[in-house]
Amino acid sequence: MRDANRLKEQLRDAVAFGRLIEAEETLAALREEYRANQTAFTPGFIKDIKQLGQQAGIKRTLKDVFGYDCFRPGQEEVIRAVLAGNDALAVMPTGSGKSLLYQLSAKILGGITLVISPLISLQKDQVDALNEGGLRATFLNSSLDYEARAQRIRGLYRGDFELVYAAPEGLEQSLGQLMENLDIRLIAVDEAHCISHWGHDFRPSYRNLAHLKDRFGSVPVLGLTATATPAVARDIAEQLGMISPFVYRGSFFRPNLRLYSIKKGGGGPNVRDAILSIVSARKNQSGIIYCLSRKTVEATAGFLKERGIRAAPYHAGMAPGDREATQEAFRRDDVDVVTATIAFGMGIDKSNVRYVIHRDMPKSVEGYSQEIGRAGRDGEMSDCVLFYSWADVLALERFTDGLETSLAQTQQGQIRQMYSFADSASCRHQALARHFNEKIEPCKTSCDYCSGLDVMSEAPVKKARQTPPVKYTAPQASDAGQEDAEYAFGEIKKLRKQIADQNKVPAYVVFSDATLRAMAQYRPQTEEQMLALSGVGLKKMEKYGQAFLQALRTM
């Protein structure tokens, strides 16, 4: 037993420090020990080991399938709750990695994980990315014809898929009945705030989800949302019929987003020129520019194009085909900048968006938070520049004319809150967190108020003034090393684009910007070194690793 105890401690250490191979070897040794001397293992001891074994399995899957070395805050806690069979609710900000909660669980649970998501265009993206990582996923929604649906459903019965996305509308129809006979082990409800009347985006189709627990027996339900005050969170749990759910509220503070706020008019810079210099200082980087009206969307895109920027517009007034073309070009990095009305926010998950500019003030702090949430989803530093003015407030208020009185009042209140947020002299991250009932210290470095940074100072015309704040400096790298890394980054980015086009997937699905940065910085020379980088999993190593290794060797 002394041996077993020692092994258990060794296993605990190995798991805690992510030494997964050692963890597996230790588990094997423990198994042997158990076979030799079963009676010495108490039930409590066995339970501990099983738990540690599961933790090792979770971490292993995180690396093998997703390529990540460590969890982001909250991810592991929620996954463990779900794997233990509990209902759970995750309230975590945009871009914090909520999808991983059900994707990783799906891999470990076996059977099928059903994911309800309202965003049909996002389903295809996610399925593509998952298949790249070796997770067998599919989706069923109205974009498929009858035959394609039937084929996928047959696949589900055959056990071809571990995860299936469906829209909430689908559950009402025959699909719902078919689903009831499948081996479903987890139901994830994405954008769960849509079920609540108190939330900012209630959707009637989410009413279909009220009886999930009754229909699918004891299958655990996991709700996910980026915007829920404590009251909305309680409402979600109740509407979904959750039984004493594990609730995780993440922090809304995202230090990799640098927030800037610039007042328009009154001797300040001309907005159009200001935007041009911000965009020009970020050549070949992806960005989104939100505008209030379709007219400014078109005008801004036109203006940037005339100056040689690869920009395209996106708004509800365009023909669906044109809109899709813009979105697709952006996904593939064929267009760098999309100018859009707010409608562009929801359908897109592109991890390398390096900046979001609000040409005009958004109509609520929730909306602002969702929109800047499009930036920096890979964790790299990204800039969020908000232009605002009192004239924007008046323009937005005109949209509330003709609304029913109480709704108009709510919206006007939100507009003014947004203005005070934009105009306040305090840490912007702190103010944003406060809006969601969270108390944080001033960010010190990630907003213009705390850091004194001026986003305009990096404009190319004023380059001589000082080192631009937006430079990815590794602490120990020399300037020359930094230049080399920049060069390598540019080169492997081109390679990524080639590979992505050949495989007909968006570039970031191959490897994220953050992963390319790491490659450029550390120059891995062997498969092993490559696998050690965040974002490189087994499947991707197999598929793309060699091409990148070769490119790096020749630099």
Ligand X SMILES: Nc1ncnc2c1ncn2[C@@H]1O[C@H](COP(=O)(O)OP(=O)(O)OP(=O)(O)O)[C@@H](O)[C@H]1O
Structure tokens given for 58: 């979770």
Residue 101 or 304: the one with the smaller Cβ distance to Mg ion is 101
Per-residue three-class SS string for 349-394: CCCCEEEEEECCCCCCHHHHHHHHCCCCCCCCCEEEEEEECHHHHH
CA 497 centroid distance within chain = 21
Residue 106 or 418: the one with the smaller Cβ distance to Mg ion is 106
Pick from 355, 373, 99, 358: which is nearest to 253 by CA? 373
Cα–Cα distance between 160 and 21 in angstroms, integer? 29
Among 74, 97, 118, 133, binds ligand X (CB under 6 A): 97
**Distance of CA 417 to CAs 4, 100, 362, 420, Å?**
60, 33, 11, 5
Using CB under 6 A as the binding rule, whether residue 245 contacts ligand X is answered as: no
Residues in contact with Zn ion, counted by CB under 5 A, come to a total of 6
Pick from 60, 72, 103: which is nearest to 514 by CA? 72
Among 27, 49, 55, 68, binds ligand X (CB under 6 A): 68
Among 443, 500, 507, 549, binds Zn ion (CB under 5 A): 443
Using CB under 6 A as the binding rule, whether residue 448 contacts ligand X is answered as: no
What number of other Cβ atoms are within 10 A of residue 239's Cβ? 19
Q: Which does 19 bind (CB under 5 to 8 A by kind): Zn ion, ligand X, Mg ion, none?
A: none
Quote the least distance from Cβ 349 to Mg ion, whole Å: 7
Please tell me whether residue 328 adopts helix, strand or coil conformation: helix
**Distance of CA 460 to CAs 367, 469, 486, Å?**
31, 13, 18
Residue 184 or 427: the one with the smaller Cβ distance to Zn ion is 427
Using CB under 6 A as the binding rule, whether residue 71 contacts ligand X is answered as: yes
Using CB under 6 A as the binding rule, whether residue 100 contacts ligand X is answered as: yes
Using CB under 6 A as the binding rule, whether residue 113 contacts ligand X is answered as: no
Cα–Cα distance between 71 and 179 in angstroms, integer? 31
Cα–Cα distance between 437 and 433 in angstroms, integer? 6
**Is 531:538 a contact under the CB 8 Å cutoff?**
yes
Contact pattern for ligand X over residues 369 through 408, marking x by CB under 6 A: ----x---xxx-----------------------------
Using CB under 5 A as the binding rule, whether residue 447 contacts Zn ion is answered as: yes
Residue 296 or 352: the one with the smaller Cβ distance to ligand X is 352
**Distance of CA 437 to CAs 137, 270, 517, Å?**
36, 35, 35
Residues 6 or more apart whose CB falls under 8 angstroms from that of 34 comprise 4, 41
Angle subtended by helix axes 405-423 and 390-398, to nearest 10: 160
Site for ligand X in 22-51 (CB under 6 A): none
Site for ligand X in 168-227 (CB under 6 A): 226
Stretch binding Zn ion (CB under 5 A), from 164-172, 227-235, 436-444, 465-473: 436-444
Quote the least distance from Cβ 444 to Zn ion, whole Å: 6
Structure tokens given for 244: 């004493």
Quote the least distance from Cβ 442 to Zn ion, whole Å: 5
Contact pattern for Mg ion over residues 80 through 99, marking x by CB under 5 A: ------------------x-
Q: Which does 72 bind (CB under 5 to 8 A by kind): Zn ion, ligand X, Mg ion, none?
A: ligand X
In eight-state DSSP terms, residue 545 is I
Residue with tokens 């007034």: 317
Using CB under 6 A as the binding rule, whether residue 56 contacts ligand X is answered as: no
Quote the least distance from Cβ 470 to Mg ion, whole Å: 27
Stretch binding Zn ion (CB under 5 A), from 29-37, 449-457, 511-519, 544-552: 449-457
Stretch binding ligand X (CB under 6 A), from 64-72, 147-155, 260-268, 291-299: 64-72
Among 450, 477, 531, 538, binds Zn ion (CB under 5 A): 450
Residue numbers at the binding site for Zn ion (CB under 5 A): 427, 429, 442-443, 447, 450
Residue numbers at the binding site for ligand X (CB under 6 A): 68, 71-72, 75, 92, 94-100, 226, 349, 351, 373, 377-379
